Every structure is written in structure tokens, then in C-alpha cells.
Amino acid sequence: MAVPDRSPTTRLLAGLAITLTVVAIFSLYTIGQLHTLRQLQHDTIDRNRRDSLQLLRIQNNLNSLALAMRDMIEGTEPYPLTAWQSQFKRIRTDLGDALALQAKLSAAGNADQQQYLASSFAQFWDAVDRMFALARVGDNEAARTLVRDSLTARLSALTSTVARLLVQNNEAQEQTAAQIAVIHQRVERNVYLFLAAALGTIFLTSAYLIHSSRHMFERVAFLSQQRRDLAQKLIGMQEETLRSISRELHDEFGQVLTAVGAMLRQVQKQGVPPESPLATQLHEVRQIVQDTLDNIRRLSQVLHPVILEEVGLESAIEWYLPQFQKQTAVKVRYERTGETGHISDRVAVHVYRVIQEALNNVARHSGATEACVRLHLDAAGLRLEVEDRGRGIGELAARSGIGMVAMRERAQLVGGVIEFLKPEEGGTLVRMTVPTDGDGRL
């Protein structure tokens, strides 16, 4: 009697059941590992990141205090010590807020250091109060001695403590990264086991695997896009910060120094003999004020040149290149060709920053004494080239600095591309190309 053919349905269903069981077990395991990763990221990495931001905020305030105390000790400023009291009060308020936030974010193991930090700050501010009390009664010498002998040492100890806390945060992040790496290795090993277990039914589950692969690649692309978005947001925040600082320097400090200069001129006009020592001293003080005003304006332009917004990219480049030559002794040749319409502020600021970063790399790394900046504009778009005959792109690329990453991100922000090339003649060529939009505008 003939044996009837068996239907493959049972075997297919059994294989599918086994595959689904393996997939379910592996999925539960993977979900558990991802949950552990999320907990590590949330409980350690994210908390440490926020903690480090507050510590950096504290460190920045301590640096501001150090600069103010240095000026108080040197006595070069034309106003009494009590004039610094408002600045100290503002920094004290900001430090108090930062310390409160940092204490909430700090790990439990840092309780002793947090207590020591709070106690040290209390002692420091107590000494500050004593110093200003001496200054208010006119005993400036005793106040400066207190700053020099006591406050400086206390501030140094606080700075060291904050630095140690930052180091501890970095070490904690490294340990967490090591744990994450172990989890990744464990997950990877189980992936291979899963593939081995599902090898017999891979043909029947190919649709699922294709779907999973597509999902994985989509996830990678999504994460890559997130990273790019984050980098672009950071660049945007940097530009806004530099613009804000530049305006503060130009508007606030510039106006104050201009007013001081005007007051000195009025004093000099009020019957001071031209040949008297007082007239000479007033002239010297006016020169110091003017030099300081010029330095502040120059620093303001370097941080965010107002000329970039007022008269455009080309004028900003023509202003910046001589400044760069004076600061670095690197001779820069500028070549401008072509014609185009208006260059938007968004494109102009990123092209300008690329020029700055490329020339800074020439000054810091290439060893070249000359460089060439070429800007070509036409209906197709903008092409920027910064070239030198220094050590070459090999050594520059080996450094993997954040500057090259920032230049790439800036080029992408304006829809352009950037290339780092090594010409046949040697050296480095940075080429950035930005196309026009649909209306033929940059």
C-alpha cells in the first residue's frame, strides 16, 4: 500500500513555532538589556552630564572671581574696591543656584565632598564679607592683603575641589561605558546563538529577517540624523552665544569706556595747565582707556563681526585677513572672482567661520608662513578655497580635531560640501562649495 504524501504544513508550523519561540526569548532578553542600557544612561550618564554642566558653570564663576581678585590685588583700576561688590554679589547668587542644582545631581558617594564644598564656599564668602567691610571703612590695604593671603588660597582650593568632582564624573562615565560595552558584547554573542538556532528555518522566516534588517538600518539612519541635528544645534547655540557676548562687549563695556574717556577730556579742559604733571597723567589715562576700548572692539569683532551683518561677507573677509596676519605673522593672499547676488546672513556666517577655522589650522598645525584664500561667486553658487604649503593633510587628519568636524557640519547646514585635499605641490587645500537655491540665491 502506498504511503500518502505528508503535508509540509506540520513541519512548517513546527519550524515557525520554534523560530517564534527563539525570537520571543531573544526579544525578551534584548528588551531587558536595552532597559538596562537606558537605566545606565539615565541614572549615570545623563545625570553626570547635567552634574558636569553645573560644575563647569561653577568653575566659570570661580574663574570670574579669580580675574576680579587679580584686578583688586593689582590696584590698576581707577575705582575703589567696593566697586567690585555688585559683581561679587551677582556671582554669589549664581554660584548658590548652581551649587543647589549640582548637589541634587551629585552621586551619593560624593556626599562628603559636597559637604566640604558647601563649607568651603561659606568660609570663602565670609572672608569676602570681611574684605568688603574693610574696604568700606577705607582700609584698602588691609582688604587687598586679605584678598591676597586668604581669598586667593580659598579660591584655589575651591577650584581644585570642583576639578576633582569633574574628574570623578568622567571616571564614572568611563565605568558606565565599560558596563555598556560588556552588555553589547553579551547581546552580540547571543545574536550569534540566535542565528545558529534559527538557521534551519531561516528560509521560512526570511520576510521577518528582511523586515528586521530594514528596521535596524532605519534606526541607524535615524540616530545618524539625530547626531547631525544635535551638532547643528550646538553650532547654532555657539553662534548665538558669541553674538551675545560680542554685543555685550561692544554695547556695555564700549559705552562705559567711551563715557570714561569723555569725562577725562572734560577734566583736562577744566583749567589743567598743558605742561603740568596732572595733564600728562590725564593723557596717559585717556590713552589707556582708548587702548582698552580698541581691544574690546577688536575682540567683539573677532567673536562676531558686526561688519558681517552690516556690509556682508566679502567686507568681513577683507577686515579679518589683516587682523589674522597681525596676530599670527602668516601672510594671507586673498583672491576674489566672479559675481553673484546677495549672500544671506546664514550662509555668510558659516563661510566666515570656515575661513577662521581653516586659517587657524594653518597657523597652529601646518607650519606654513603663507596661505591663500580664494572666493569665487557665480550663478551656480559659492566656492571657497583655503590653501597652504605646510605639512599637509595627513598630519592634520591624524589629529581628528573638532574643528574639521565643525567645518563639515557648517557646510551641511547651508546645503554645501567641504573637502580636505592634498595638492600635488604639497600642503593642504580646504574647499567648500555652497550651491544656490531654486531662486538662484545663496
Q: Which of 332, 441, 328 is nearest to 382 (CA)?
A: 441
Q: Kindly list the strands in the beta sheet with 428-435, ordered across the sheet, starting from the edge strand earlier in the chain.
A: 331-338, 370-378, 381-388, 428-435, 417-421
For the cut 80, the answer to whether the pLDDT of residue 114 exceeds it is no
Up-side HSE of residue 64: CA atoms within 13 Å toward CB? 15
What's this model's pTM, rounded to 2 decimal places? 0.43
pLDDT grade for 7, boundaries at 50, 70 and 90:
very low
Q: Count the neighbouring beta carbons within 10 Å of the beta carbon of residue 289.
A: 20
Lookup: cell for 92: 554669589
More confident residue, 171 or 293: 171
Q: Which of 65, 296, 321 is nearest to 73 (CA)?
A: 65
Q: Taking residues 166-188, what's their average pLDDT?
A: 78
Q: List, in order, residues 6 or more apart from 351 with CB less than 8 Å away.
A: 313, 343, 382, 384, 414, 432, 434
> For the ranges 51-55, 78-82, 154-158, 391-395, which has the lowest average pLDDT?
391-395
Looking at residue 109, its amino acid is: G
pLDDT of 41 reads 63
What is the C-alpha separation between 374 and 322, in angstroms, rounded?
Answer: 15
Q: List, in order, residues 6 or more apart from 229 with CB less than 8 Å away.
A: none
DSSP 383: E
What is the C-alpha separation between 90 and 182, in angstroms, rounded?
Answer: 46
pLDDT grade for 384, boundaries at 50, 70 and 90:
very high
Q: Count the neighbouring beta carbons within 10 Å of the beta carbon of residue 183.
A: 16
pLDDT of 153 reads 87
> For the ranges 24-33, 82-91, 332-341, which has the lowest average pLDDT?
24-33
More confident residue, 14 or 377: 377
* 320-368 residue pLDDT tens: 899 889 888 899 999 998 876 678 888 888 898 899 889 988 988 888 8
Q: Which of 51, 49, 19 is nearest to 207 (CA)?
A: 19
What is the C-alpha separation between 339 and 381, in angstroms, rounded?
Answer: 10
- The answer to whether the beta carbons of residues 418 and 441 sit under 8 Å apart is no
- The answer to whether the beta carbons of residues 250 and 300 sit under 8 Å apart is yes
Q: Taking residues 109-134, what's their average pLDDT?
A: 83
